[in-house]
Amino acid sequence: MNEKTQAGEKADLIAEYFGLIQRELCDSKSIDGSLLKINELNRFLSSNRKLLGLFDHSSFEEVEKILNGIFFGTVQNLISQANAKGNEKMLKKLLDAEKRFIKTFEAILESRDLAGLGKKGRILSVDILDKSGRKSRIFRTWDPLYIKIRYSLNDKKDSAIGVAIHTESGIYLYGPNTSSLKKKLKKRGTVILKIESLPFLTGTYLLSVTLTNKQSTRVFEHKWKRYAFAVFKGNAPEDYGILAIPAKWEID
């Protein structure tokens, strides 16, 4: 029996296993208990990476849908809870677990591209960096934040990369893309969006990354609200709202 046949037979069992973990996470009463389940899932993904890369399109779509629900639904809700409680230690653990998942899952996606199972273009990796170029998911108001996106394209003449940042409640805050740049994207390369002074107040924010044609009428890949990062107020004087806007009072 070849590897692809084995993958097809195991697809339903693996999807069922992922669904079970998703239900257990929803029923969990503690963040610590949820984190144990998340780490268990990460270990499973890492050890079965090759098998998942061989799934046919429909089987892989089912698995991807469940995993998106776990990591970009349940886990981001836990991240928000930890941030709201000011629990930086647990927040870091959850963000690290999310980062391990993204790294493993993107390696699976890349292996599918190499096997001819991918899409017309692919976002290969997304990293959120601090001012020193180190990966980070925790920032303070007015800190620099850089978004590094690695990509591959089949049609470099008619492609654009965009990002969107939302609050956890769904408010759309920011959404630039590369379509207005004079320099064209390469067939395979990296782009970096540099936000030199992050204007957000305390909260959890969700980053989306898209690969589209230049008119944004065709979507090649859309990582919707997939990357969470947390912001603490720092030295910003404001206590309420979402944005820290440079302003001053004058009293006559």
pLDDT, tens digit, for every residue of 234-249?
777 766 788 888 888 8
Distances (CA, A) of 136 to 61, 172, 206, 215: 29, 22, 14, 32
Residues 82-106 have pLDDT tens digits of 877 778 888 888 888 887 887 787 7
Note the pLDDT of residue 149. 95
Between 188 and 19, where is the model more confident?
188
pLDDT, average across residues 174-201:
89
> What does pTM read for this prediction?
0.62
Domain boundaries, the chain: 1-118, 120-252
Q: What is the three-class DSSP state of 37?
A: helix
Is the CATH code 3.40.710.10 the one for domain 120-252?
Answer: no
Please state, for a pLDDT cut of 70, what percent of the chain lies above it.
Answer: 88
Q: What is the mean pLDDT of residues 180-208?
A: 89
Return d(Cα 117, Cα 132) in angstroms, integer: 36
For 46-69, what is the mean pLDDT?
Answer: 74
Q: Per-residue confidence at 213, pLDDT binned at 50, 70, 90?
A: confident
Most confident of 16-20, 37-41, 169-173, 223-227: 169-173
Q: How far is CA 179 from CA 125, 145, 158, 219, in A?
A: 20, 21, 9, 14
Once rounded to an integer, what is the mean pLDDT over residues 171-200?
89
